[in-house]
Homo-oligomer: A and B are copies of this chain.
Amino acid sequence: MAPRMTVVTLGVTELPRARAFYVEGLGFRASTASNEHITFLDAGGVVLSLYGRAALAEDACVPPGAGFGGIALAWNVASEAEVDASLARAVAAGARLLKPAQRVFWGGYSGYFADPDGHPWEVAFNPHWQLDADGGVVFPA
């Protein structure tokens, strides 16, 4: 079996705030398997999980850390207009705009927001990549 990334867990300081941002704010669907300690979101081909940051560090046996850890998430969309609309939606939901949408060196159009816990998300239109009917990236083999 080939290796996969099945889940990405974001450590959060206030789960209700994070859940509201992702579910009501951005429109992610939460699983009924979620409970008061963890929320599972359907992020396309992968599960996006929200869990207490201190508990996550403890579970992974790593020091709690602070700030940017060198991981950025991305949400590819189908047009420049969708980038603008998705960034605006995130900001309306309480995100902080890190980088306004702009034409970028690799030929696309993108901007970044930080979720309420500071996790950076790029929203991008990449004219070189194809999206499938569900909005997933067709892996450029």
- The distance in angstroms between the C-alpha atoms of A126 and B54, with both chains bound, is 22
- Could you tell me if B136 and A71 are in contact, using CB atoms closer than 8 angstroms? no
- Could you tell me if B11 and A70 are in contact, using CB atoms closer than 8 angstroms? yes
- Could you tell me if B114 and A62 are in contact, using CB atoms closer than 8 angstroms? yes
Q: Which of A59, A118, A122 has the most chain B CB atoms closer than 10 A to its own CB?
A: A59
Within 8 A of B (CB), among A9-50: 9-12, 26-29, 31-33, 40, 42-48
- The distance in angstroms between the C-alpha atoms of A6 and B76, with both chains bound, is 6
What's the nearest-Cβ distance from chain B to residue A56, in Å? Answer: 6
What's the nearest-Cβ distance from chain B to residue A117, in Å? Answer: 7
| Chain B positions within 8 Å of A48 at CB level | 5
- In the complex, A135 has a CB within 8 A of chain B: yes
- Give chain A's interface residues, CB within 8 Å of chain B: 1-12, 26-29, 31-33, 40, 42-48, 53, 56-57, 59-78, 82, 86, 98-99, 112, 114, 117-120, 122, 128, 134-137, 139-141
